[in-house]
Every structure is written in C-alpha cells, then in structure tokens.
C-alpha cells in the first residue's frame, strides 16, 4: 500500500526534538484520518479478510457443526445438565491471576471510558464468577460458547484464536469421585457417539503430582514450573523434558531422574494400589489421598462400563493453575490424527496421539477466589475440544466426498410455463403455512431446467410442478427429483 | 475502597513538575501492581459483576431462549435458509464508514500488537464482508449471534450492550419485490408463531423518503439528517420533530410542514396508488419507483396472506445509512408492551407501540463497498429483535407463574436403603446407554425424601427406586412422582 506524503507528514521533519511517543501519536492520527477518508484512493481499500486466527463458518461447516453439537448437547441433556450463558467479555480483574503465564494471551478491550474489559479466555472462570455472584452452591450445567486466546494460530490443525469451548461441570459438595466419574463417563459417551475412532482417556491427580514432586526432592516453589515441564511430555521425548528441568529450571539431576521413573508409569487400579505401597510415594499424604481417589474412581468407572478407555498415567500434568484434584485428558489414537511414536520405558513401542480432544479436572478452590468470604464450592468438569473435532469431521466429509446438505427444504415449487409466478407464490405460501419446508425461485419466469438444477444441487427431494393444464384440472404434479418419477397429482 | 498510601505514591509529591499524562501513567502502573498483588488485602477484592450493560443467562432464561430460537430457526429453515457464522471481531476498517453517527458506539479491542480489531456492531456488515470475500452472489442465509454496542443500556426494557441479533437475508439479483415479500412473510410467521399478541409491520421505501424530501424542498445535503429526525416520530410527537427540523437542522418551516403532511399518511396499496397520482410526489422519479414497488409488494403479500398486518407508513425512516430501497419495522401493539398515545393528524387517536421487534430492508450497495471492483450484490433482509422478545417471554412466564423446566430428565434413579450406591450407578449407566435421560444423586447414602424432593423441584416425572427386596426379586420400582403411583415393576 502506497502512503502519500501529505503536508502534515512533511512538517514532522521540522521537529528534530520529537519523541517516539509523539511520533506514534502522530502516526495514529494520520492513519485515523486516512481511514476516515477511506484509504488511499478514497474507495474500496478494505483488506478483505477475517482477523488473524479466526475464520468464518460456511453453510457446509455449519451443517457439520450443528450435527456435532447435537450429539454433544444430547449427551449433556441425557445426564440432566442445565445450560447457562455469560457475556463474551468480563471485567479484566475477573480474569486476573487465573491463568498463570498464559495471561499474556488474553484479549483486552480498548479503554473507551468506563470499565476495563477482557474477552473470556475460557468458560471455567466465568462459570466460577457466576456461581460466586449468584451464591449458587449446586449446579450441573453445560455451556457452549466461543473463547479467545491471542495464541499462535495453527489453523490447519484446528487451533484458532477464536474457538468454541464446550464445557460440562458439576458444582457442589458431594461424596468423593461420583461426579468425577460421571464427567469421564460423559467423555466416553461423546467420543464414542461421534465415531472418531479409538481413543484413550488419561487420568492423574494434582495431589499425586505434587506428592511425587515432594518425594523426588523438588523444592516447594518449583512445583508449578516443573509441573508445566512435565506437561510437555506428550509433545517432547523424556530426554528433552529432563534437559529443560535440569538446565532451564535448575532441578538436580537426581530429582529429575526420580521423576522420570514415575512419569513413565501407566496402568489402572492396580497401578494406584502398587504406588500406595511404594516406599517413597507412600511417604506423601497428598499422594496417598490422590491414589485412593484414583482407586475409587476406577471402581465407579467399572460400574459405568468405561474402564476400557481409561488409563492412569503419571505423566499427565495439564497446564492450568486452578486444578486441585483429579485431572484427565482424552486423546484420539486413530482417525487420521497425526500421531507420534514414543518409546515407553518398558520397551514396548506405543503410538500416542497428539490430538487431545477433551480435558478437565477438579478445581475446588476457584469459586472461593471470587467469594467475598472465600467460601468454596467444589467443582469438577470437562471441556470437549470441539474445534479439533470439527476439523476431523470436515476432513472425513471431504475424504468421503459425501454431499452435505445445508438446507432442509423438502419441496421446490416450480412452474413449467411462463406467467405462473402468482400461482407459485400462492402454493409455496400454503406449504409454509402447513409447516412444510419449501422454496420458490425469485424470478417471474424461471426455466424449468434451472428450477430442477437447483433441486439437484441443493438436494431437494421433491418438486411440485405447476402448469396450465394442472391448474385447469385443479391438481399439482409432484415429482421425485432423483428418479424423475411423477407418482402423485394432488 | 480504601487506597493505602504506599512509598511509591508518596514519592509523587516530590515531583512538582509532573504532567497529567505522567500522573495517569503512574496511576495505571500502581493499579496494575495492585491488581497483581490481589487488591487491598491481597485477596477477594473482585467486584462480583458482569460488565456494564451485559447479563448472564440463568438456566430458566436459557430454557426460554431455546424455545424462542427453535421457533425462529424453524421458520428460517422452512424457508430454505442456510446458516453461517462469522468471528465476533472484525478488522476495525471493515466496520469503518458503515454506521454513520453510531460509529462511536463500536467496541474497539486494545492494540496489543498486530491488527486493529473491533467487536461486530451488527451481523449485516460481516455478512456483506463474507459475501465479497468469498465472491458469493446468491445466498439465503440466517445468522444468530451476539453483537456489541457501547450504548446506554436500558436493561429493564431489554436493551443491552451485548445482545443477540437474529438475521435472515437474501442476496442475489432477482425480480423486484419477490425476496422482499418473503422477508415480510417471515416476520409475519415468526411474530404469529411466538404468540406475542397483535402486531403491525410498517413498510416504506428509502426512495419514497428521498423523493418526498426532494419535492418538499429539503436541500440534498440535508436528506440524511432530516431522515434521522423523521425516524424519531415513533418516540416524539410531530411538533417536537418539526421543531428539531426547523430549529436544529435549519429546515424552512414550509418544507417541514409539507413533510408533516406526508409523514402522517398510512395505508395500503391504495395509498401507494394515490401518491403515484399526487401532483407533487409524482414529480420525483425516485418516489415513483418506490411507490410502484410498494404496490407490487402488496400484491405479493396478498398471495402470502400477510396483508392483514402490513401498513404502508410514510413516517417510517430507520436510521442505518446502508438501506437503498424498501424498509420495514414490526411493532407489537399489545402484550403488555409499553405503549404511547399519539394524536394522528386526521384527529383519530391511535395507540402506537414503542416496542419494535423486527426491522430490515433492502441494501443493494453494501456488498459493493467491500468488493475491490465495486461489484454489487443486491440484498434484502430482516433482523428479529430477539432480546425484546426474550424480555416479553420472561415477563409472561413470570406473570403466569408457570414452572419452566430447565432440564429434560425423565427418570431419577433413587434408593430406599443405605449402601446401594453401586446399584444406583449401574442402573443409571444402563439408562444412559439406552438413551434415557436420567440422574442419580452424588451421595453414597442419600435420603429417599431428598431424592424425591429433587424430582419435584426439577420436574422429573419418574423415579426408579432400588431397595433390597427389589434387588432380590430382580425388579425395579418405577414411581410417578406427581401421583405417587407405583404402577410398574421392571
């Protein structure tokens, strides 16, 4: 884009003492002026694009999206969940201190006078704010809405700056692991229902991680940062994770190696039992509490017939600060998702998917951060990684070359001759009034062929053809578009 | 909120030459510091509220919202519409120059590096951007999403800064007034379907307004500003509108009085015919084109059986700049909506509702503003004022004291004795697997009474009661909650 030198710009040269701030200000003024006069030639100088990291959904994508939503919402409703909605922006201070290092990814609104606002970063913090604000101590709710992160977009892999989250949470003081198990059951049902191929749900517990760090000799103030390094194990081999711990985070080699032994472990209820007997691990009260809960969780999952997909995995860490107990993450292990091969410590080679499609955990402290008196409301929840699921479904539809219908029209009201617009409008109106999905072409005299072509292109199964003879006889010809049959005169 | 003087604050006093900007900057730094350390006492200093002009939707409101959406979407789908979605923010320049004076109400995002972004102000401009960007020349689509305006909120009247818009638009080069008539038919169907009481749909045409201004002697450069004064006729009596035209906008008294005569006119196809013969009005080619189209529109509306609610009203102006042809607005005339009484010029007193619940019109130039070559895509559309409809529906539900169910649970799995948690979990899981909406309490040993109370509170119709005897017999007691009947043992 050329930038024409204006007298205003030239005059800047006459101020040798100008500061950078003044320059910025002048530039901003000029650009604003430029925008007001409509760009370089005063017309049509728009950049025709959506904001970085965002996308439109076209009708085909919307049709797929609606199908996915309907499966997921169906599951949430089957489990008796209510739904709520919250504004897209929150007071900035509501989000402050909830996301650790990721806070830099929050979108702030411009200060235009009034409150300082930020776009929501997830649905969990607004949910906690909602509970505290309305003094709600018990709720089972889902919330499907867009959230915003100024992250590096990787749109081909379904990572956007604006993306849907799809959360189910249970708030309330209940007996241990019952709501937690229901969350995992829900993940199991949804991923099975969406037919995305095989999957695994990894579970762990923040208390087991913290206990493990303690018995391995990680200093208290390094728990969080070491935890976020462990979190990278699904993307990095152990050697690199170890290097980061020792070289960047200053952990002793001995502590790192001890962690390395634990985080290679995977199993079920038996592993939890074994670790409860583990000489080192059993020294930590926290770890023991976590391990007992894992055992209880597996016993409930057995009743829910969901253990086939669930793995207790000590390498699962999850980044967010607010988790306090059980954590979990579901990954697809097939379905054309990019997979990496890792060498498990027991020597067996395993195919581990990098495609996380759901995650969650228990966060008993978050609501208390909002309550003036710090009253806690225990919560556990799960977030379905819906954008990645959309991407997979879109790829599948593409690969299968299946025709996705974007409307539900049942009948096209067409005419074989000219001058039948009024008759067509009258008939289509009667169909609408009768609750039938119907369309008519917005032309006075459309050709029959173009009317039939429209039916074929958009998958309309029936066409009602008006002609002079039919009008005389008081009937309408109804033709099946696919077979060209005309079985019915009404 | 107390603000403790810190050493940092005191040190400011030692700079007598400080500028306001420096003060502001210091204040901002300190407040940021304060936020980082967590407010005044380092804890729980959040303001528990949503941003000004916004609200949460609780489960009851969501249940009503879903019902309204389902009626509206049902209508859009009946008319063969596809749906699209666009990001919540657009490049700032995409919105520039589209909203006239209202541009000041646009929410901008903070410049955090990268593109300058604004929250969408409506769904029409993003739609036009979408069409131009994807070179789409034909589409019939609906879009339901939230839009953002930094307006003065009037939340009791359903006016928010974040609110849903619900748009249906037809883009494409078609024969005159056919898609326009379908838009009005849709408004007719939706308002009838939502059962909001009686309503009226006012129609007018931008070309008639412009022609009228021309023949009444309004100077060309005053068309838009006089038009926005006329737009106030639904809220202000003619005398005040006239005053604004003459005193504030500098229009001659003679011109104002001539406008006054025209804008008092209401009617149907007959009025359009009469005005086509009107000595003054018929001098304007523009007006005549508009009047002929109004006649054509009414003839199509007759075929659609929709004329009973439609009024040709020359006082209808509508604020937005981008309209080029027909415009319309639907108002409720009953349903407990606040109404004002105006003295119509013919002496008859009329009750005019201030509750506009839908509006739209033709905008043939907007897409061309985005196209690099200025290629036009004619469009006509309608926006349903969904927030006002929500408010009315909520008030109606409140007034009728009807119990709005917020979940769809069919069966509660309960137990009569202790130690039946496992059996309950197993049964509820079987129900879920069978696609039945079911719930269980998250307690090891809940009291039967509290389980039944939960059913009554949330309207669950059936309860499956497990007891030791039933388990022995291999049956489950199924009780109808309302009648306490136990008709079935399964």
Query: What's the mean pLDDT in A205-228?
Result: 93
Is pLDDT larger for residue B349 or for residue B444? B444
Query: What's the mean pLDDT in B32-43?
Result: 48
Q: Read off the tokens for B218.
A: 């309004």
The separation between CA A71 and the C-alpha centre of its own chain, rounded to angstroms, equals 15
Contacts of A43 in chain B (CB under 8 A): 374
A411 close to A454: Cβ distance less than 8 angstroms: no
The separation between CA B423 and the C-alpha centre of its own chain, rounded to angstroms, equals 48
Query: What's the mean pLDDT in B236-258?
Result: 95
| B370 with A407: Cβ contact below 8 A | no
Contacts of B304 in chain A (CB under 8 A): 425, 429
Contacts of B93 in chain A (CB under 8 A): 35, 39, 46-47
Question: How far is the alpha carbon of B68 from chain A, nearest alpha carbon, in Å?
Answer: 15
The verdict on B88 touching A (C-beta cutoff 8 Å) is yes
Q: What is the pLDDT of residue A32?
A: 56
Beta strand pairing call for B82-83 and B139-148: parallel
Contacts of A390 in chain B (CB under 8 A): none
Q: Residues near B213 by Cβ (< 8 Å), separated by ≥ 6?
A: B222, B223, B226, B227, B259
The verdict on B96 touching A (C-beta cutoff 8 Å) is yes
The verdict on A407 touching B (C-beta cutoff 8 Å) is yes
Query: What's the mean pLDDT in A468-473?
Result: 91
Q: What is the pLDDT of residue A400?
A: 85
Name the percent of chain A lying above pLDDT 70. 85
Q: How confident is the model at residue A403 (pLDDT cuts 50, 70, 90)?
A: confident
- Judged against a pLDDT cut of 70, whether residue B361 lies above it is answered with yes
Q: DSSP class of residue A282?
A: G
| A78 with B437: Cβ contact below 8 A | yes
| A425 with B96: Cβ contact below 8 A | no
Q: What is the pLDDT of residue A42?
A: 42
What is the pLDDT of chain A when averaged over all its residues?
87
Best of B19, B89, B123 to disrupt the A interface (most A CBs within 10 Å) is B89
Is pLDDT larger for residue B402 or for residue A66? A66
Q: What is the pLDDT of residue B345?
A: 38
Beta strand pairing call for B310-313 and B89-91: unpaired
How far apart (Å, rounded) are the C-alpha atoms in residues A452 and A447? Answer: 9
The verdict on B457 touching A (C-beta cutoff 8 Å) is no
A353-364 per-position pLDDT tens digit? 447 899 999 999
Place of tokens 């228990």: A362
Q: How confident is the model at residue A13 (pLDDT cuts 50, 70, 90)?
A: very low
Name the percent of chain B lying above pLDDT 70. 85
Task: State the binding site of B.
Answer: 122-124, 149, 165, 169, 318, 322-323
- Judged against a pLDDT cut of 70, whether residue B490 lies above it is answered with no
A128 close to A366: Cβ distance less than 8 angstroms: yes
* Number of A–B residue contacts, CB under 8 Å: 267
Backbone angles phi, psi at A332, to 5 degrees: -85, 140
The verdict on B348 touching A (C-beta cutoff 8 Å) is no
| A109 with B109: Cβ contact below 8 A | yes
Is pLDDT larger for residue B350 or for residue A475? A475
Residue A308: exposed, middle, or buried by beta-carbon count in 10 A (0-12, 13-18, 19+)? Answer: exposed
| A442 with B96: Cβ contact below 8 A | no
| A46 with B94: Cβ contact below 8 A | yes
Best of B429, B458, B464 to disrupt the A interface (most A CBs within 10 Å) is B429
Question: How far is the alpha carbon of A90 from chain B, nearest alpha carbon, in Å?
Answer: 6
Q: DSSP class of residue A110?
A: P
Closest by Cβ to B51, choosing from A90, A300, A408: A90
> Does A323 count as an annotated binding residue?
yes
How far apart (Å, rounded) are the C-alpha atoms in residues A111 and A115? Answer: 8
Best of A49, A53, A82, A97 to disrupt the B interface (most B CBs within 10 Å) is A82
Best of A69, A89, A117 to disrupt the B interface (most B CBs within 10 Å) is A89
Question: To 5 degrees, how large is the angle CA B161–CA A169–CA A172?
Answer: 105
Q: How confident is the model at residue A46 (pLDDT cuts 50, 70, 90)?
A: low
Question: How far is the alpha carbon of A17 from chain B, nearest alpha carbon, in Å?
Answer: 18
Interface of A with B in 179-208 (CB under 8 A): 179, 181-182, 185, 189
Place of tokens 């074929």: A456
Q: What is the pLDDT of residue A347?
A: 37
The verdict on A24 touching B (C-beta cutoff 8 Å) is no
- Chain A's closest residue to B409, CA to CA, is A80
Contacts of B50 in chain A (CB under 8 A): 86-87, 90-91, 133
A139-185 per-position pLDDT tens digit? 999 999 999 999 887 776 667 999 999 999 999 999 999 999 999 99
Query: What's the mean pLDDT in B426-451?
Result: 96
Q: What is the 3-state secondary structure (H, E, C) of chain B?
A: CCCCCCHHHHHHHHCCCCCHHHHHHHHHHHHHHHHHCCCCCCCCCCCCCCCCCCCCECHHHHHHHHHHHHHHHHHHHHCCCEECECCCEEEHHHHCCCCHHHHHHCCEECCCCCCCEEECCCCHHHHHHHHHHCCCCCEEEEEEEEEECCCCCEHHHCECCEEEEEEEEEECCCCCCHHHHHHHHHHHHHHHHCCCCCEEEEEEEHHHHHHHHHHCCCCHHHHHHHHHHHHHHHCCCHHHHHHHHHHHCCCCHHHHHHHHHHHCCEECHHHHHHHHHCCCHHHCHHHHHHHHHHHHHHHHHHHCCCHHHEEEECCCCCCCCCCCCEEEEEEECCCCCCEEEEECCCCCEEEEECCEEEEEEECCCHHHHHCCCCCCCCEEEEEECHHHHHHHHHHHHHHCCCCCCCCCCCEEEEECCCCCHHHHHHHHHHHHHCCCCEEECCCCCCCHHHHHHHHHHHCCCEEEEECHHHHHHCCCEEEECCCCCCCEEC
The verdict on B162 touching A (C-beta cutoff 8 Å) is yes
Q: Read off the tokens for B455.
A: 């059913």
Name the percent of chain B lying above pLDDT 90. 70
- Chain A's closest residue to B132, CA to CA, is A48
> Does A278 count as an annotated binding residue?
no
> Does A123 count as an annotated binding residue?
yes
Q: What is the pLDDT of residue A15?
A: 43
Q: What is the pLDDT of residue B402?
A: 77
Q: How confident is the model at residue A31 (pLDDT cuts 50, 70, 90)?
A: low
B149-206 per-position pLDDT tens digit? 998 877 766 679 999 999 999 999 999 999 999 999 999 999 999 989 999 999 999 9
B130-146 per-position pLDDT tens digit? 999 999 999 999 999 99
A72 close to A166: Cβ distance less than 8 angstroms: yes
Name the residue among A94, A155, A100 with its Cα closest to residue A123: A94
Q: What is the pLDDT of residue B153?
A: 79
- Judged against a pLDDT cut of 50, whether residue B220 lies above it is answered with yes
Most confident of A36-50, B33-47, B102-116: B102-116
pTM of the model: 0.84
Q: DSSP class of residue A101?
A: G
Q: How confident is the model at residue A488 (pLDDT cuts 50, 70, 90)?
A: low
Interface of A with B in 219-238 (CB under 8 A): none
- Chain B's closest residue to A432, CA to CA, is B78
How far apart (Å, rounded) are the C-alpha atoms in residues A436 and A433? Answer: 7
Contacts of B453 in chain A (CB under 8 A): none
Contacts of A443 in chain B (CB under 8 A): 174-175, 178
| B84 with A58: Cβ contact below 8 A | yes
Q: What is the pLDDT of residue B355?
A: 77
The verdict on B329 touching A (C-beta cutoff 8 Å) is no
| A85 with B62: Cβ contact below 8 A | yes
Closest by Cβ to B110, choosing from A46, A108, A114: A108
How far apart (Å, rounded) are the C-alpha atoms in residues A90 and A88? Answer: 7
Closest by Cβ to B409, choosing from A80, A107, A372: A80
| A432 with B146: Cβ contact below 8 A | no
Place of tokens 């500003």: B225
> Does A388 count as an annotated binding residue?
no
Which residues are bridge partners to B356 per DSSP?
A: B331
Q: What is the pLDDT of residue B38?
A: 45
Question: How far is the alpha carbon of B80 from chain A, nearest alpha carbon, in Å?
Answer: 5
- Judged against a pLDDT cut of 60, whether residue A316 lies above it is answered with yes
Question: How far is the alpha carbon of A422 from chain B, nearest alpha carbon, in Å?
Answer: 7
Q: What is the pLDDT of residue A29?
A: 60
Q: How confident is the model at residue B46 (pLDDT cuts 50, 70, 90)?
A: low
Q: What is the pLDDT of residue A487?
A: 63
Q: What is the pLDDT of residue B342?
A: 37
Most confident of A16-30, A32-46, A476-490: A476-490
Question: How far is the alpha carbon of A253 from chain B, nearest alpha carbon, in Å?
Answer: 34
Task: State the binding site of B for L-histidine.
Answer: 122-124, 149, 165, 169, 318, 322-323
| A304 with B425: Cβ contact below 8 A | yes
Element (H, E) at A291: helix A285-303
Q: What is the pLDDT of residue A108?
A: 97
- Chain B's closest residue to A162, CA to CA, is B87
How far apart (Å, rounded) are the C-alpha atoms in residues B314 and B260? Answer: 10
Question: How far is the alpha carbon of B346 from chain A, nearest alpha carbon, in Å?
Answer: 36
Interface of B with A in 413-452 (CB under 8 A): 421-422, 425-426, 429, 432-433, 435-439, 442-444
């Amino acid at each position: 884009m050329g930038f024409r030198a204006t007298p205003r710009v030239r005059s800047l040269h006459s101020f040798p003492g100008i500061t950078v701030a003044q320059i910025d200000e002048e530039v901003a003024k000029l650009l604003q002026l430029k925008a007001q006069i409509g760009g370089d030639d005063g017309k049509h100088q728009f950049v025709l694009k959506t904001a970085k990291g965002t996308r439109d959904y076209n009708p085909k994508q919307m049709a797929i999206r609606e199908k996915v939503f309907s499966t997921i919402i169906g599951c949430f409703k089957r489990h008796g969940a209510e739904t709520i909605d919250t504004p897209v922006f929150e007071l900035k201070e509501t989000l402050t201190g909830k996301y650790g290092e990721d806070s830099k990814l929050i979108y702030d609104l411009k200060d235009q006078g009034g409150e300082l606002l930020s776009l929501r970063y997830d649905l969990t913090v607004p949910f906690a704010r909602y509970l505290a604000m309305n003094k709600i101590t018990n709720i089972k709710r889902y919330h499907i809405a867009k959230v915003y992160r100024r992250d590096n977009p990787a749109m081909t892999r379904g990572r956007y700056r604006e993306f849907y989250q799809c959360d189910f949470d249970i708030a309330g003081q209940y007996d241990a692991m019952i709501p937690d198990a229901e969350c995992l059951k829900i993940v199991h049902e949804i991923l099975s229902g969406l037919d995305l191929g095989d999957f695994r749900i990894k579970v762990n517990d923040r208390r087991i991680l913290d206990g493990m760090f303690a018995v391995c000799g990680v200093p208290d103030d390094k728990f969080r940062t070491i935890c976020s390094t462990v979190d990278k194990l699904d993307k990095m081999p152990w050697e690199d994770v170890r290097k980061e711990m020792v070289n960047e985070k200053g952990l002793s080699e001995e502590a790192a190696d001890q962690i390395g032994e634990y985080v290679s472990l995977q199993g079920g209820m038996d592993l939890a039992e074994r670790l409860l007997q583990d000489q080192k691990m059993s020294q930590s009260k926290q770890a023991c509490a976590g391990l007992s809960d894992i055992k209880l969780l597996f016993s409930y999952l057995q009743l829910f017939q969901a253990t086939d997909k669930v793995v207790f995995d000590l390498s699962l860490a999850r980044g967010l600060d607010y988790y306090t107990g059980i954590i979990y993450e579901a990954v697809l292990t097939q379905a054309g998702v990019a997979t990496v091969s890792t060498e498990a410590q027991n020597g067996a080679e395993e195919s581990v998917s990098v495609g996380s499609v759901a995650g969650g955990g228990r966060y008993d402290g978050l609501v208390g951060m909002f309550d003036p008196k710090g009253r806690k409301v225990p919560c556990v929840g799960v977030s379905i990684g819906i954008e990645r699921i959309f991407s997979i479904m879109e790829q599948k539809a593409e690969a299968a070359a299946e025709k996705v219908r974007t409307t539900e029209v049942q009948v096209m009201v067409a005419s074989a001759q000219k001058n039948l617009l009024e008759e067509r409008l009258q008939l289509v109106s009667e169909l609408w009034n009768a609750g039938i999905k119907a369309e008519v072409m917005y032309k006075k005299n459309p050709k029959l062929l173009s009317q039939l072509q429209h039916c074929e292109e958009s998958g309309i199964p029936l066409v009602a053809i008006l002609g002079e003879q039919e009008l005389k006889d008081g009937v309408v010809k109804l033709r099946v578009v696919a077979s060209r049959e005309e079985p019915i005169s009404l």
